[in-house]
Amino acid sequence: MSETPSSSYSVNHPNSSESEQSLSTRHFNVTEPVVAKRICFYKSGDPQFNGIKMVVNSRSYKTFDALLDSLSKRVPLPFGVRNICTPRGRHSITNLEDLEDGKSYICSHQRKMKPINLEQASKKPLPWQISRPVSARRRAVQLARQNEDGFGHRESRITTPKKMLVFKNGDVRLRRTIVLGKKNTQTFEAFLDYMSELMQYPVAKLYTTDGRKVPNLQALVLCSGAVVAAGREPFKPSNYESLGYLRPAKLLGIGNRVYPKANAKSESEKARKWNVSVLTSDVPSAGTSSNVYITLYGDRGCSGLIFLDGEKGKLFQRGNEDIFTINTRNIGHLYKIRIGHTNAGSSPAWHCKEVQLLNLFSGEQFSFPAHRWLAKDQADGEICVELPVIQQGQPILPVTVYKVHVTTGDLWNAGTEADVYISVYGERGDTGSRQLLRSQKSKKFLKGQTDIFAVEAVHLGCLYKIIIGHNGLGSGNGWFLDKVVIKDPVTDLDYTFLCHRWLDQGQDDRNIARELPVTDASTFPKRQELELKREKTWAAEKWKFQKGITLQFYNRLTHGFICLYPDSRVDALGLFDINDKRRNICIFSSHQMPSLALALVGGRVTGKSKDKACCELRVHLQPNSCAILESASYPGHTVAFNLQGKVADGTTGYAGLSKEFVVHVKGVFHHGAIILLNTSFCQALSLRPDGSCSGAGQQQQESYWKVHKIGSGLCMFESVKKPRMYLKIKDDQCDGTGTGDECCHFKIEKNLETGSVNLESVQNKGIYVGLLPDGQTKPVVNTGERNIFFYPQVIKFGREKPMGTSAAPKQEKKDFRESQFQTIKTQEPNNLLSVMMKNTIKPAIIMTVKINSIGNIYKIRIELDGLPNEQPEWNLQRVILQHLKSKKTLNFPANTWLSRNRDDREFLCELPVVEAGKPIYPIVLYHVYIHTGDLEQADTDSSVYLCIYGKRGDSGLRLLHKTGIPVTFQRGMVSVFEVEAVSLGKLQKVLLRCEASTKSQHWYCDKVIVREAENNSEYVFNCERWLPFVSQEFKKNQQLEMQEANEGDWKITVVTGDFETAGTTATVFLYAYGENKASGPIILGSGKQQLFNPNSEDTFKV
């Protein structure tokens, strides 16, 4: 210690004092003599205070607090003595044992110590020799004389006394009236000390009543009559002006919250000098060739980045200590530093051992042990480290590791390969610029991905903003940032910073760095993020709700459309025209009955005259692009259905409600229409100048496509900006250089569940226009991912009205008369099946098939012929069988799709006979579990078919698939499927059939388990054999033979759905199951023969 002892006396051997010896002899209960220490205590920052000499021992002061209480009565401080330290303020005294005999110490009421010159203080007369005590005003005058420079200049003084009212910060009830004069305004610091004694609490700052800081005496003089005295805390607004005082005038020559330049800087604003000593570790390769910098943080601000320069090649070498002198502004009490390097040079890695600081102004010393690598290829990859000030062996602030969750937007080409940097700001400074280097994912900043990084820093308190950006380097440097979430492990709080913008020099405002404020926790960040996504969804989808548009509302749960009937009933299927629009309030009138519109009455959906207020519905678009229709007159009442597709009533539970609808616009792909093929809410498929296509284009003219309709569901797409350039797929390339040949023909596959479409090449079946993560187009297969989804938006409809007619010829509905058809007889007229097509354009076609008696029919099965050349899907409404002799009618309602592109459906369906509104046998969902053996090469990726047999027939051969795609049966795994069929009764056997592929020629099946959920039954069929891709039976029973003959003739009526894509060009088969036998397949015909068109009834005679 370098403290200077008191000059009055010096005791080299404290135990030699007679008084101490006598005390120790009289106190015979202690085993050791009581040691007395003669100590002199001075007042912090007051060289005129002569000091208090005291004898300190364990008998007079049992505890350190007792000593403080005694000193508080003798040393004039506003809050008494609360801290004792050495004369230069380097070390704090916390117990009696730390006091040394004959030494001098400084007393203060706050942590900050103001050093004094002990040599000068010891020359002053003793307290009892002074006629009157030294007041604060006299000390101010004396300090001012000492602060004169060589030319005799001082800070601005008051020549005319001025009355002023001083309020306590945040408490208008505590106020004092003072008179500013020469004596109490010699220096600004002396005035703050005077105010501390007057207000009886430590005053560190002054503010005007409207919150502007008063930094010096000149600003104080310019204040109009009242100021607010504050400690270290920020300004607290209050009703300081309600007591009759005028608002203070603005400080001279400056705007709000900007400080004027004083003629002479106050003591608190003077620059500070520091000695910085940096120790490099003595380990191999510890030195660095990089440039090292340091940043100091105090309670008044930070020093900014300061580079520690010197002779290149000699600094920061292994085992060296490098010493620098730096200048900073007054940053207040130091609480942390940050030291790091720029990662430059041939060997930038650096192992820092310790940093030592000496404040040359106050004499305070600080030590910051580091003992860590600062290198991108070492430890955590950080090239800087934050170190807190250590007091009494403990850091004054904790060092924490923030978890930074960075979410890249789910847009095409949203990811980046550039280096991303972040700075986090809180109440206690910032982290500095940190590179987000090591993510928990293998690749960083990919489309739709959330990366998690660790940022170590001295705890910042409450966070309020971040600055995040990238360096713009790399091939894919643009970046769409969705949000950043920072988790604070100390407080267990999450801070959300929403962005939803591009950081790209070619997008948005072309900035590659953004300042993001923290989302207000009181507004719930998740809710705010949801509202932001709803706004963007509405901006992207609002075109669908323009006046004159015809649309449909599809429900994902009920798998049907909203339909309005003439009797005001509402359920399954229908079209609606938008008649009126006011913001997001619309009236949806029936396309077939324009005077009738959807309405909400008493919370139930119904049909009413469109001029009624109950027909006004407010559209709420969700982030998933679904719409909720809410009553404009009665908020909270929404269009809702139960899971059976019926209007929901009061008995329907919340779990059974379905109120979200996918909106489909009719007439999007009419000939001559101009559309956008959107890939996200703000991106579209665009044609680039070089002829390539990208799904990351902007929704502008370069993304406009003109539709050329060449057939039912078949279109070409021509660029509007560059005529005669068509979208094409050829030679494993997908671009916009087509010339209109067959390579440019695409089949439009509509996805009811998402409101999107897929573009399948007509020339290359199963090949679709797809997108890579960077947005580039490429021919791909349908793997169930969203990279083949396009969301069409109409810029200009192809016709005057959005709604057009079906591509199939419109047919006249006529009653069935046998006189309309001619019968073509075969060689066996007694056993024939006559299939007659009802059509008003072509003559009737009659087909014959021989059948035998099958008994009473209880179910039928309708199948398509797998994958035809065109339109492999069909919307079947119902099938009616009528016996021509007995006039007995069998009804088979369907209202279903035969398609593998919709909800894991099949190219077949089974329909039971419905009597009195109920099926005679229920439709059962069988859960099938296929166990692949745990043997080498037991797996397969080939197509596997299954047929289930029971007492009531069979299910037919079904492809085991997921959304039309065969699955891979992996070794030792269980694959789960669903088979829907009319109840088969007690199961008897199953049949497996495999199709060989070039990759795998065998498959080992362990067993098949079939579960029927309704009666909680389970059937186990053991296989335990290799299947060489032929049909295999697990139980040898009588096969179900296809029988011939039927008693009497039947008329079969097949009804197809009534919207544009309901028809099919596939060949349709029918199987009939009776009590005795099964008959089939019966070929009803093909759509290529003008059968099974939308909104048609095809009649056949069997």
- Does pLDDT of 555 surpass 90? no
In a domain, 801, yes or no: no
Q: In what order do the strands lie in the sheet with 479-488?
A: 450-458, 399-408, 479-488, 493-503
Assess whether 343 and 298 both reside in one domain.
yes
* pLDDT value for 790: 92
Please tell me the distance from the alpha carbon of residue 1088 to that of residue 1102, in angstroms, as a whole number.
21
* pLDDT value for 468: 94
In a domain, 957, yes or no: yes
Assess whether 1051 and 936 both reside in one domain.
no
Residue 616 Cα to chain centre, angstroms:
34
* pLDDT value for 120: 67
> Does residue 685 or residue 917 have the better pLDDT?
685
* pLDDT value for 403: 94
* pLDDT value for 871: 52
Q: Tell which of 134, 163, 187 closes a domain.
A: 134
For the stretch 417-447, pLDDT in tens is 888 999 999 988 999 999 998 888 888 899 8
For the stretch 55-83, pLDDT in tens is 888 878 888 888 888 888 888 887 778 88
Mean pLDDT of the chain: 76
Any idea of the CA torsion for 851, 853, 858, 864, to the nearest 10 degrees? -10
> Does residue 849 or residue 671 have the better pLDDT?
671
Sign (positive or negative) of CA dihedral 800, 803, 806, 807: positive
- Identify the band that residue 574 occupies on the pLDDT scale cut at 50, 70 and 90: low
In a domain, 972, yes or no: yes
For the stretch 367-393, pLDDT in tens is 999 998 999 887 678 899 999 998 887
> Does residue 556 or residue 565 have the better pLDDT?
556
Q: Which residues, in sequence order, are CB contacts of 975 under 8 Å at separation 6+?
A: 929, 930, 932, 960, 967, 969
- Does pLDDT of 460 surpass 80? yes
Burial of 207 (C-beta count, 10 Å sphere; 0-12/13-18/19+): buried
For the stretch 342-355, pLDDT in tens is 888 888 999 999 99
- Identify the band that residue 567 occupies on the pLDDT scale cut at 50, 70 and 90: low
* pLDDT value for 997: 59
The 3-state DSSP class for residue 61 equals coil
First CA to last CA distance, the chain: 116
Assess whether 838 and 933 both reside in one domain.
no
> Does residue 915 or residue 804 have the better pLDDT?
915
Transcribe 93-116 into DSSP letters: E-SGGG--TT-EEEEESSS-----
Residue carrying structure tokens 């029971």:
950
> Does residue 823 or residue 1030 have the better pLDDT?
1030
Interstrand relation of 384-388 and 434-435 (parallel, antiparallel or unpaired)? unpaired
Q: What percent of the chain has pLDDT over 90?
A: 16
For the stretch 1047-1089, pLDDT in tens is 447 788 888 887 777 888 788 888 888 887 787 778 887 766 6
Assess whether 917 and 1047 both reside in one domain.
yes
Q: Which of 375, 353, 356 is nearest to 290 (CA)?
A: 375
In a domain, 7, yes or no: no
Q: Tell which of 395, 414, 447 closes a domain.
A: 395
In a domain, 712, yes or no: yes
* pLDDT value for 818: 31
For the stretch 497-547, pLDDT in tens is 999 888 988 788 888 899 999 887 655 566 667 777 777 777 777 788 877
Interstrand relation of 604-609 and 617-621 (parallel, antiparallel or unpaired)? unpaired
Q: What is the CATH number of the domain that holds 130?
A: 3.10.20.230
| Average pLDDT of span 774-793 | 88
Any idea of the CA torsion for 871, 872, 878, 880, to the nearest 10 degrees? 100
Any idea of the CA torsion for 55, 59, 64, 68, to the nearest 10 degrees? -50
* pLDDT value for 355: 94
For the stretch 581-604, pLDDT in tens is 677 888 888 877 777 888 888 778
Peptide bond into 1081 cis (omega under 30): yes
CB contact at 8 A, 719 and 737: no
* pLDDT value for 1042: 31
* pLDDT value for 9: 33
Assess whether 1028 and 978 both reside in one domain.
yes
| Average pLDDT of span 968-984 | 87
* pLDDT value for 420: 92
Q: Around Cβ 915, how many Cβ atoms within 10 Å?
A: 10
Please tell me the distance from the alpha carbon of residue 991 to that of residue 97, in angstroms, as a whole number.
93
Assess whether 1000 and 1031 both reside in one domain.
yes
- Identify the band that residue 406 occupies on the pLDDT scale cut at 50, 70 and 90: very high
Best-predicted range by mean pLDDT among 52-61, 405-414, 648-657?
405-414
Assess whether 1050 and 914 both reside in one domain.
yes
Q: What percent of the chain has pLDDT over 70?
A: 77
* pLDDT value for 15: 38
Q: Tell which of 1004, 1039, 1074 closes a domain.
A: 1039
* pLDDT value for 560: 75
The 3-state DSSP class for residue 614 equals helix
* pLDDT value for 565: 67
In this prediction the pTM is 0.47
- Which of 668-672, 688-692, 790-794, 967-971 is predicted with the least confidence, judged by mean pLDDT? 967-971
Q: What is the CATH number of the domain that holds 482?
A: 2.60.60.20
Assess whether 177 and 275 both reside in one domain.
no
Transcribe 368-433 into DSSP letters: EEEEEEE-TTSTT--SEEEEE-EETTEESS-EEEEEEEEEE-SSTT----SPEEEEEEETTEE---
Residue 164 Cα to chain centre, angstroms:
54
- Domain span including residue 342: 271-395
Please tell me the distance from the alpha carbon of residue 929 to that of residue 1008, in angstroms, as a whole number.
6
* pLDDT value for 521: 60
Q: How many domains does the chain divide into?
A: 8
**What residue type is 485 in one-letter code?**
V
* pLDDT value for 845: 34
* pLDDT value for 556: 76
CB contact at 8 A, 1048 and 878: no
* pLDDT value for 637: 85
| Average pLDDT of span 788-811 | 61
In a domain, 437, yes or no: yes
> Does residue 188 or residue 25 have the better pLDDT?
188
Assess whether 946 and 1012 both reside in one domain.
yes
For the stretch 809-866, pLDDT in tens is 333 333 333 322 232 233 332 222 222 233 332 333 333 343 456 788 888 888 887 5
Assess whether 789 and 847 both reside in one domain.
no
In a domain, 6, yes or no: no
- Identify the band that residue 935 occupies on the pLDDT scale cut at 50, 70 and 90: confident
* pLDDT value for 75: 84
Q: Around Cβ 196, how many Cβ atoms within 10 Å?
A: 21
Q: What is the CATH number of the domain that holds 639?
A: 2.80.10.50
Cα 240 to Cα 16, 94, 194, 203, 221: the distances in Å are: 62, 40, 22, 18, 19
Q: Which of 294, 268, 298, 289 is nearest to 206 (CA)?
A: 268
Q: Which DSSP helix (H) or strand (E) runs through 220?
A: helix 217-222
Assess whether 39 and 149 both reside in one domain.
no
- Does pLDDT of 1039 surpass 80? no
Assess whether 363 and 480 both reside in one domain.
no
In a domain, 260, yes or no: no
* Dihedral pair phi/psi, residue 916, rounded to 5°: 55, 35
**What residue type is 405 in one-letter code?**
H
| Average pLDDT of span 771-792 | 88
